[in-house]
Amino acid sequence: MPEQSDHIQIPRHVAIVMDGNGRWARQRGRPRTYGHKVGSSKVHDIVEESKELGIEVLTLFAFSSENWKRPKSEVNFLMELMIQMLKKEIRKLEEKGVQVRFIGQRELLPEKLLKVIADSEARTRNNNALILQIAASYGGQWDITRAARVLAEKVARGELLPEQIDEKTLAAELAFSDLPDADLFIRTGGELRISNFLLWQAAYAEFYFTDVLWPDFSVDEYHNALRHFSGRQRRFGQTGEQVSG
Ligand code: IPE
Ligand code: IPE
Ligand code: MG
């Protein structure tokens, strides 16, 4: 990466909202789906670079709970694109030691995609060079609501007392409770919002927003985000003196 690599702090978990595909295509007089296609081709290099840098977890927002409200033709295109991408990349990911996981409301995904997901997860489950999480049909609110329901069921069965519910017991029921929370949250496409991506797990993430549209996002842009991250003092509620002393 950058020059003084010994001063660079590498985040353990990077989460990216890959936004701006539609606008990128419209700027070129092309259909939104063209933007999704070009955008999907950018994922490969970011995954590769994450692995090279020793990042442990990369979580990519591919499709939100709310994206189901888009025109059916665009939704179908995106589902098919995920199937094609996985089929195309899975062998290389497998060989490179990348573990693939999906997070999101699976029961809404088409059967054909579920099959490819199951296959990808099974083939890469013992890999540990990088954990690549694809968030599809995912929403932070869905995740927290689901965890609350699991706890309520435990209480109803008499396995848990309401007073035993704390941050730890709730966090344990969330998606990827075995992984560290996001350290760096990147959003491309210029919007300054979270759009229901990681809510709980971004509690202490550092945010990096860029106007660059996802199909233009490059490894250089990724380095810019990482450089910003590296320059920030993370205080986690403490004083600057406490964390630097
Ligand atoms: C992000 O790009 C991809 C998905 C949400 C699936 P958009 O499709 O949201 O692109 P813009 O924001 O309309 O440009
Ligand atoms: C967030 O982008 C979801 C993904 C990138 C997958 P959106 O384009 O759906 O977000 P909004 O609607 O602009 O908030
Ligand atoms: Mg968008």
Pocket test residue of 26, 64, 142 for ligand 2, highest count of atoms within 8 A of CB: 64
Atom of ligand 1 nearest to the CA of 78: 6
The whole-number average pLDDT for the span 144-159 is: 98
pLDDT value of position 8: 82
The ligand 2 site (C-beta within 6 Å) comprises 17-19, 61-64, 67, 191, 193, 195
Closest by CA position to 22, among listed 30, 32, 7: 32
Residue nearest to atom 12 of ligand 2 (CA): 195
pLDDT of residue 125: 98
**pLDDT tens track for 100-143:** 999 999 999 999 999 999 999 999 999 999 999 999 999 999 99
User: How far is the C-alpha of 128 from the C-alpha of 98, rounded, in Å?
Assistant: 6
Atom of ligand 1 nearest to the CA of 32: 8
Mutate to test the pocket of ligand 2, among 16, 17, 194, 211 (most ligand atoms within 8 A of CB): 17
2 pLDDT band (50/70/90 cuts)?
low
pLDDT digits (tens, 9 = 90+) for 173-230: 999 999 999 999 999 999 999 999 999 999 999 999 999 999 999 999 999 999 999 9
The mean pLDDT of 159-170, rounded to a whole number, is 98
Q: Over range 17-39, report the average pLDDT.
A: 98
What pLDDT was estimated at residue 97? Answer: 98
Residue of 21, 23, 66, 138 to mutate, ligand 1, most atoms within 8 A of C-beta? 21
Whether the predicted pLDDT of 237 surpasses 90: yes
Q: What is the DSSP letter of 28?
A: T
Measured from the Cα of 63, ligand 2's closest atom is: 6
Q: Is the pLDDT of residue 232 over 80?
A: yes
**How far, in Å, from the CA of 24 to the mean position of ligand 1?**
9
Report residue 183 as tokens. Answer: 């350290």
Atom of ligand 2 nearest to the CA of 18: 5
Task: Give the E-state strand segments of the chain in sequence order.
Answer: 13-17, 57-64, 98-103, 130-138, 184-187, 206-209
Neighbouring C-beta atoms of residue 111, cutoff 10 Å: 6
Give me ligand 2 centre to Cα 195, in Å: 6
- How confident is the model over 50-87, as pLDDT tens digits? 999 999 999 999 999 999 999 999 999 999 999 999 99
- Is the pLDDT confidence value at 7 over 90? no
Active site residues: 19, 67
**237 Cα–ligand 1 center, Å:** 34
pTM: 0.97
Per DSSP, the three-state class of 97 is: coil
Distance between Cα 104 and ligand 3 center (Å): 18
pLDDT band (50, 70, 90) for residue 1: low
Q: Using pLDDT thresholds of 50, 70 and 90, give the confidence band for residue 245.
A: confident
Please give the full DSSP string across 149-164, using - where no structure is assigned.
Answer: HHHHHHHHTTSS-GGG
CB 105 within 8 A of CB 65: yes
- Report CA(243)–ligand 2 centroid distance (Å): 35
* pLDDT over 60 (residue 5): no
What confidence category does residue 6 fall into, taking pLDDT thresholds of 50, 70 and 90? low
